[in-house]
């Protein structure tokens, strides 16, 4: 009886917790879709890929905003392309944007802390082609003309999959070692049995 | 002599049975995993009978972790209780320590079974990743197996030699108890290597080759997780042991039994709360390491999609504090003289509730577009102010202080200090608490006027003030109550059944909280196996909706308690046999 009462209490408590879990916003977060960028990719397509990269794989919206609402940890990205040419004397907008993505530590926009992660490294983990796609997007977003061009050197030589996941031998690592380990454990069991037998002998004698 | 050697034999036999069980389980695991890997078509990923591989691993891993937490946490306070028994020469402490330990033997078996299932699942469902990880960490795997055997031998022997190693030999038993904990801690630390490496990889080059095993082991989140889990295990173990006592209390047939289990429940809940109090601090440390390792991961944890789950966490923690205070206040009913302190209960309840509300208020959240426009920005205009971390820190520190104060009143319940400086002492104590509260509030308010990087530092002062106040209070309290006049003995067993449900509530909430935090810890890797390095390319590599996730946490909690009730049942059944 007590058991059922406690069980009912358990169900009630966890149901309340799960119920509250239903009250918070519900959404699924899917991994980024891989898009192939080539030298032939058009500017509009490039910008579209860039937008997706900014929103998903890059995780940029954690700090930046591209609409009126959003985060203000970093500057508003709608103005990035427009202000780019003025940020550093003698540096073109495109070069500045490239630098601010690849080496954000070189120049820090006044009024902001230096916290932006370099885009070529994890977690964004872009390749150069993707960085350029993002620039194309930023330029469209700022109403500027898309000036970036994808060059062959930008496109990663290795296939994407290999770049992120280390080459792995598929055979089970347990095969030989498993058996050897099993023998050691068996021997250990035998030793313990022997100890037991001796203790048992002493008990009877 | 013959009697003692008979017991030695029984103790050894019991211990060997433990070893045999583990050996057989490992052999079975190996055969099943090998067999399935050979039988199933080669793949990078496999589904769990058509269900999500991610969820299958999640459920089994969490259950394994809960049992592991229990079997690692309980020996820590079992041996402390045993030490107390030796120091005070009170047999009831030794009995209690034994009672705690009794829960272990069966729980070990379940932990191992779940661990074996988990191992089979990771090998079969994620062959590629598992292959990679086990190649990287092979030496640690071997170490782990050695540690498991060591732990089983020592822990079983600790249990089976309890009555054998009494009197002059007690010191050996205590040494065994310490050893159980050292091995257990080592086990935990080794298991944490793999977990934390996946969160914050280190020691590998761009191609994923190992450059330094040591760097991979001592990755940024390893130590914070070790400490966080160590504390959480004790809290969790205490809460579950208290739930065991509560069941036994409700089922008790004699006054003597009721008194015994009432006391056990009290000690268990005390341990749970005492270990729980430093936990948020360990959590801050872990959070800071995560931020330092990857701002992005940190932000998606605290400000991104997972942020909503912290509201649930706040609700659970608030509930735990309320329940523990409620339990203490009900417990004052069995203490003659505690009526004197009833007047504090209402204000404390109000304080706790306010703290609870502040803590549960959402803060900066990466909400979806529509939500953001509904709230007018990523910070809610009004709630934003209370929702920021500074307010939460302030609230939780005040809640901790309040709960501490409840405990101290409880402790003093039936005693009147007799020392000549009693009045001064009490005034100093009150001042200490008031000062700490003032410091906490001051920095809480001041932090709204400084940038966030300075604000982070303030939480250290707040925590420092609370910890200092607690230590000074206790340092005064011990001599203050020396030779105090007792109004009457504590009437153990005279506590309403409601109080036992408060204990159940605490155990359930601890379990659920652990399930939730485990989900967040693992989930913030999102679609990465190894964050930023190895992507999860399986079909189920997405973050599910919070509503579904919390249902799974509930299911895990229910399964856990069903399994635990088997352990409890075995433990009380064994006793019936012994009583005969």
Q: Quick check: A22 and B308 CB within 8 A? A: no
Q: Return d(Cα B533, Cα B510) in angstroms, integer.
A: 33
Is residue B462 situated within a structural domain? no
Q: Is the pLDDT of residue B60 over 90?
A: yes
Q: Is the pLDDT of residue A18 over 60?
A: yes
Is residue B350 situated within a structural domain? no
Nearest CA in chain B to A111: B451
* Secondary structure element (H or E) that encloses residue B535, with its range: strand B534-535
Please give the residue range of the domain that contains residue B127.
3-335+490-579
Q: Is the pLDDT of residue A205 over 70?
A: no
Q: Which of A6, A70, A173 is facing B135, going by the closest CB pair?
A: A173
Q: Is the pLDDT of residue B283 over 70?
A: yes
Which chain A residues are within 8 Å of B27, Cβ to Cβ?
182, 185
Q: Is A77 helix (H, G, I), strand (E, B) or coil?
A: coil
Q: Which of A21, A185, A200 is facing B546, going by the closest CB pair?
A: A21
- Please state the domain extents for chain A: 2-26+176-204, 43-154
Question: What was the pLDDT predicted at A162?
Answer: 39
Which chain A residues are within 8 Å of B33, Cβ to Cβ?
172, 174
Nearest CA in chain A to B143: A181
Q: How confident is the model over B11-54, as pLDDT tens digits?
A: 888 889 889 999 999 999 988 988 888 888 877 888 888 889 99
Confidence of residue B368 (pLDDT cuts 50, 70, 90): very low
How high does pLDDT run on average in chain A? 82
Q: Quick check: A62 and B546 CB within 8 A? A: no
Chain A nearest C-alpha distance from B434 (Å): 35
Q: How confident is the model over A162-185, as pLDDT tens digits?
A: 333 333 334 444 567 778 888 899
Q: Is the pLDDT of residue B579 over 60?
A: no
Best of A116, A124, A185, A205 to disrupt the B interface (most B CBs within 10 Å) is A185
Q: Which of B30, B128, B300 is facing A170, going by the closest CB pair?
A: B128
Chain A nearest C-alpha distance from B41 (Å): 12
Q: Which residues contact B31 (CB under 8 A, 6 or more apart)?
A: none
Question: What was the pLDDT predicted at A168?
Answer: 39
Helix residue spans in B481-545 (DSSP H): 497-523
Q: How confident is the model over B226-270, as pLDDT tens digits?
A: 999 999 999 999 999 999 999 999 999 999 999 999 999 999 998
Q: Which of A7, A69, A195 is facing B373, going by the closest CB pair?
A: A69
Angle between helices B389-412 and B255-276 (to 10 degrees): 150
Q: Return d(Cα B43, Cα B32) in angstroms, integer.
A: 17
Cβ–Cβ contact A194 with B under 8 A: no
Given the candidates 1.10.3720.10, 1.20.1440.230, 3.40.50.2300, 1.10.760.10, the CATH classification of the domain at A43-154 is: 1.10.760.10
Question: What was the pLDDT predicted at B455?
Answer: 64
10 Å CB burial of residue B40 (0-12, 13-18, 19+) is exposed
Question: What was the pLDDT predicted at B386?
Answer: 40
Q: How confident is the model over A28-56, as pLDDT tens digits?
A: 888 877 677 888 888 888 888 898 888 87
Q: Which of B33, B132, B542 is facing A166, going by the closest CB pair?
A: B132
Is residue B160 situated within a structural domain? yes
Nearest CA in chain A to B135: A173
Q: Quick check: A203 and B2 CB within 8 A? A: yes
Per the structure, the count of domains in chain B is 1
Q: Is the pLDDT of residue B578 over 70?
A: no
Chain A stretch 3-42, residues whose beta carbon is closer than 8 A to a beta carbon of chain B: 3, 6-7, 9-11, 13-15, 17-18, 20-22, 24-32
Q: Is A204 helix (H, G, I), strand (E, B) or coil?
A: helix
Question: What was the pLDDT predicted at A29?
Answer: 82
User: Which range among B4-8, B294-298, B430-434 shows the weakest confidence by mean pLDDT?
Assistant: B4-8
Is residue B419 situated within a structural domain? no
| Structure letter (DSSP) for residue B534 | E
Confidence of residue B454 (pLDDT cuts 50, 70, 90): low
Q: How confident is the model over B127-136, as pLDDT tens digits?
A: 888 888 988 8
Distances (CA, A) of B183 to B99, B144, B149, B151, B343: 21, 10, 10, 6, 47
Is residue B374 situated within a structural domain? no
The tokens describing B63, both together, are: 């259950």
Q: How confident is the model over B516-541, as pLDDT tens digits?
A: 999 999 998 888 899 988 888 888 88
Cβ–Cβ contact A183 with B under 8 A: no
Best of A69, A116, A127 to disrupt the B interface (most B CBs within 10 Å) is A69
Q: Is the pLDDT of residue B218 over 90?
A: yes
Is residue B281 situated within a structural domain? yes
Q: Residues B544, A28: contact at Cβ < 8 Å?
A: yes
Q: Which of A25, A31, A177 is facing B367, going by the closest CB pair?
A: A25
Angle between helices B295-302 and B279-293 (to 10 degrees): 130
Q: Quick check: A122 and B532 CB within 8 A? A: yes
Q: Give the ipTM.
A: 0.84
């Amino acid at each position: 009886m007590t058991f059922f009462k406690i069980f009912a209490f358990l169900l009630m408590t966890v149901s309340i917790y799960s119920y509250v879990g239903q009250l918070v916003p519900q959404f699924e977060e899917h991994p980024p879709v891989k898009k192939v960028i080539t030298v032939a990719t058009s500017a509009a397509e490039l910008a579209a890929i860039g937008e997706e990269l900014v929103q998903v794989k890059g995780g940029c919206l954690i700090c930046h905003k591209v609409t009126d609402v959003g985060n203000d940890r970093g500057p508003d990205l709608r103005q990035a392309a427009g202000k780019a040419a003025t940020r550093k004397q003698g540096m073109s907008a495109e070069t500045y944007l490239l630098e601010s993505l690849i080496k954000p530590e070189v120049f820090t926009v006044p009024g902001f802390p230096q916290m932006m992660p370099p885009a070529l490294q994890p977690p964004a983990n872009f390749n150069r082609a993707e960085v350029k796609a993002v620039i194309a997007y930023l330029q469209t977003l700022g109403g500027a003309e898309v000036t970036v061009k994808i060059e062959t050197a930008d496109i990663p030589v290795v296939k994407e999959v290999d770049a992120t996941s280390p080459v792995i031998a598929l055979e089970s690592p347990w095969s030989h070692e498993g058996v050897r380990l099993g023998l050691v454990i068996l021997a250990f069991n035998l030793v313990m049995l022997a100890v037991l037998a001796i203790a048992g002998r002493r008990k009877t004698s | 002599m013959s009697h003692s050697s008979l017991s030695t034999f029984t103790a050894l036999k019991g211990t060997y049975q433990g070893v045999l069980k583990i050996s057989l389980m490992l052999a079975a695991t190996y055969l099943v995993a090998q067999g399935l890997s050979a039988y199933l078509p080669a793949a990078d990923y496999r589904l769990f009978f058509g269900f999500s591989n991610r969820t299958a691993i999640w459920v089994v891993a969490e259950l394994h972790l809960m049992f592991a937490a229990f079997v690692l946490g309980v020996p820590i306070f079992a041996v402390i209780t045993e030490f107390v028994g030796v120091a005070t020469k009170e047999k009831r402490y030794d009995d209690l320590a034994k009672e705690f330990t009794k829960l272990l033997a069966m729980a070990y078996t379940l932990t191992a079974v779940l661990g074996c299932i988990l191992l089979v699942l990771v090998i079969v469902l994620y062959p590629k990743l598992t292959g990679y990880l086990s190649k990287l960490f092979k030496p640690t795997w071997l170490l782990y197996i050695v540690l498991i055997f060591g732990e089983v031998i020592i822990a079983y022997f600790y249990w089976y030699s309890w009555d054998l190693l009494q009197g002059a030999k007690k010191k050996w038993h205590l040494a065994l108890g310490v050893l159980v904990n050292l091995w257990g801690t080592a086990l935990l630390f080794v298991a944490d290597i793999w977990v934390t490496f996946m969160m914050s990889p280190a020691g590998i080059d761009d191609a994923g080759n190992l450059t330094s095993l040591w760097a991979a082991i001592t990755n940024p989140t390893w130590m914070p997780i070790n400490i966080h889990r160590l504390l959480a295990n004790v809290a969790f173990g205490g809460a579950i042991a208290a739930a065991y006592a509560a069941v036994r209390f409700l089922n008790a047939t004699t006054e003597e039994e009721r008194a015994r289990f009432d006391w056990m429940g009290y000690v268990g809940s005390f341990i749970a709360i005492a270990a729980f109090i430093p936990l948020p601090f360990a959590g801050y440390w872990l959070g800071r390491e995560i931020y330092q390792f990857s701002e992005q991961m940190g932000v998606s944890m605290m400000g991104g999609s997972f942020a909503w789950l912290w509201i649930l966490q706040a609700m659970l923690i608030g509930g735990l504090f309320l329940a523990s205070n409620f339990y203490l206040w009900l417990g004052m009913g069995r203490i003659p003289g505690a009526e004197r302190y009833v007047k504090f209960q209402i204000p404390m309840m109000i304080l706790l509730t306010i703290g609870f509300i502040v803590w549960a208020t959402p803060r900066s959240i990466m909400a979806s577009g529509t939500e953001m426009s509904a709230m007018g920005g990523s910070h809610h205009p009004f709630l934003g102010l209370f929702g920021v971390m500074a307010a939460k820190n302030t609230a939780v520190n005040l809640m901790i202080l309040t709960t501490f104060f409840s405990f101290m009143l409880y402790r003093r319940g039936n005693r009147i200090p007799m020392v000549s400086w009693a009045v001064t002492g009490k005034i100093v104590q009150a001042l200490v608490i008031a000062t700490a509260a003032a410091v906490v509030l001051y920095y809480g308010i001041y932090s709204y006027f400084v940038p966030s990087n300075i604000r982070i530092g303030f939480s250290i002062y707040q925590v420092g003030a609370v910890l200092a106040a607690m230590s000074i209070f206790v340092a005064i309290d011990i001599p203050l109550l020396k030779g105090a006049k007792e109004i009457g003995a504590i009437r153990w067993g005279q506590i309403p059944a409601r109080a036992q449900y408060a204990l159940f509530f605490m155990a359930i909430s601890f379990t659920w909280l652990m399930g939730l935090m485990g989900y967040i810890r693992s989930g913030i890797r999102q679609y990465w196996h190894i964050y930023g390095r190895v992507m999860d390319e399986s079909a189920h590599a997405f973050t599910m909706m919070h509503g579904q996730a919390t249902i799974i946490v509930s299911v895990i909690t229910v399964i856990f308690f069903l399994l635990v009730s088997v352990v409890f049942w075995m433990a009380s059944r064994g006793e019936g046999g012994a009583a005969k």
